[in-house]
Amino acid sequence: MKAFKKLLLIFSLLIIGFKVQAKLRIIGVDPLNGVLAFKNYYPSDINLNQFILSYNNIDTALGLLPIISGDTIVKSMSIVFINVKNLNYTHGYLALHDFRYIQKIGYSGGLMDYMQWGQPGHKYEQLADTTFYLKYDTIAMKNDTIRVWKIRSYISTAAPFSFFGNSIDRGVSFWQSYKLPQLGIKIVEVIPSLDIIKFKNIGGSNVDVTSLIICSGNNCIDSLKNTTLLKGSLNLPKNDTLVITGLSLPDTIGNVSLFFPINMKDTVNLIDFVQWGGYAQGYSYLAHLKNLSDSNSYIPSLPKDTLYYTGNFTRPQFNTNYWKAYHYIADTTHHNTTGIANILSSTYIDVYPNPSQKLVYIQNKTSQSYIYRLLNGNGSVVKEINGNNVITEMDIEELPNGMYLLQILSSNFAPATQKIIIKNNP
């Protein structure tokens, strides 16, 4: 009897549609900007040309659609981003077919994936409801079946949408939406030669940025908590700034991308983007679609430049035209407006104790070498030492009481300053 039931189950699955494993899955949908993300869960490379994508009553070869990022040959566990025009923002569907398993579009054996939003009843919904895949039940220790998409179910929240399940998860419960403009985090300064990035919270409330993902090209740090904080807090107050280091940045030609931490870190969840020294880098085309940058524009820069944002933090001024490069060795006036000198002296350099007696300690938090020059009230140099160590001692025992100015000199910056009070005598 058990053997008969097993044969009956297999026969039923063959009739209603059954496959062992889906290779390519839809994991991100941004209807407004026409951006789709697909992930290869198969252990080997796959070719986009073997798939057909259905949407808006259109059936087209996936490999013929414009690729935003990635390649036609998608490596295992890699993501590819596709540009699709005329997606309906309020309601729609996507159906992915593998044409090698189908006699015609709509045959259950070839349906790889399906999702719909806004309302039920779209094309191929019934097909998705009657197409099943094997799913191993770890509790019962046996294979189970799961349908591609349950009939009459749909994503009811606002676009864009992100899939947060794994390769075998199916259905509306594994999709969620996220509105990017609500986050309010902007990249406002980049110092490539020092691997330093500065953010500002331009939203209306405090934001926990701990799990945001920061990338330089395809090199990513999957959480800001895994970077080194130079200034600010990961629970970033509104209008406040955060300065981090730890992500390797190319000095002459490079880019920085900031992403929201959904299962795929580089698709519809792009928050901000900036590129310098050259165009068409990294996710520049995706940034172009989201009006964050023009894919063919970049910030002209020289080695050891600092890049800084000059716009008013509104969406029309998020592109590269509102960024400038500054070469600190040539000119020092910019320090008075951006406070980089203060960041250098208070974030990268610690001076203590203050007031000081006999000795003053200077802690260097960077890998750079500095010259520390102490000036008295008349502007005369009374001490000068090289700061090659992490902590440098400056002997001030013979100096009279008073206010002094510590100059911090670097090949990458104009002089930064720190006031010091010396109290050697009662």
The CATH number of whichever domain residue 391 belongs to comes to 2.60.40.3080
Give yes or no: residues 158 and 223 share one domain.
Answer: no
Q: Is residue 361 part of a domain?
A: yes
Chain segment 115-152, per-residue pLDDT in tens: 999 999 998 999 999 888 766 544 445 566 788 999 99
Domain final residue, candidates 161, 177, 193: 177
The pLDDT of residue 103: 52
pTM of the predicted model as reported, rounded to 2 decimal places: 0.49
Going by pLDDT thresholds of 50, 70 and 90, the confidence category of residue 331 is very low
In sign, the C-alpha dihedral spanning 342, 347, 349, 353 is positive
DSSP alpha helix (H) spans, 121-264: 125-129
The pLDDT of residue 126: 92
Give yes or no: residues 268 and 312 share one domain.
Answer: yes
Q: Is residue 26 part of a domain?
A: yes
Chain segment 174-209, per-residue pLDDT in tens: 888 754 444 578 999 898 888 889 999 887 778 888
Give yes or no: residues 143 and 187 share one domain.
Answer: no
What's the total number of domains in the chain? 3
Q: What is the average pLDDT value for the chain, to the nearest integer?
A: 78
User: Of 205-214, 336-345, 390-399, which gets the smallest average pLDDT?
Assistant: 336-345
Domain final residue, candidates 146, 177, 208: 177
- Per-range mean pLDDT, top range of 78-82, 366-370, 409-413: 78-82
User: Of 214-223, 315-324, 329-338, which gets the smallest average pLDDT?
Assistant: 329-338
What is the mean pLDDT of the segment spanning 316-341?
55
Cα separation of 353 and 348, whole Å? 16
Give yes or no: residues 386 and 279 share one domain.
Answer: no
Give yes or no: residues 229 and 293 share one domain.
Answer: yes
For residue 235, give every residue at least 6 positions away whose Cβ sits within 8 Å of its Cβ, in sequence order, or none.
206, 207, 208, 209, 210
Give yes or no: residues 212 and 290 share one domain.
Answer: yes
What is the extent of the structural domain holding 143? 2-177
Domain final residue, candidates 327, 361, 388: 327
Cα separation of 84 and 64, whole Å? 11
Contact criterion met (CB below 8 Å) for 241 and 200: yes
Give yes or no: residues 87 and 44 share one domain.
Answer: yes
Give yes or no: residues 365 and 224 share one domain.
Answer: no
Give yes or no: residues 24 and 63 share one domain.
Answer: yes
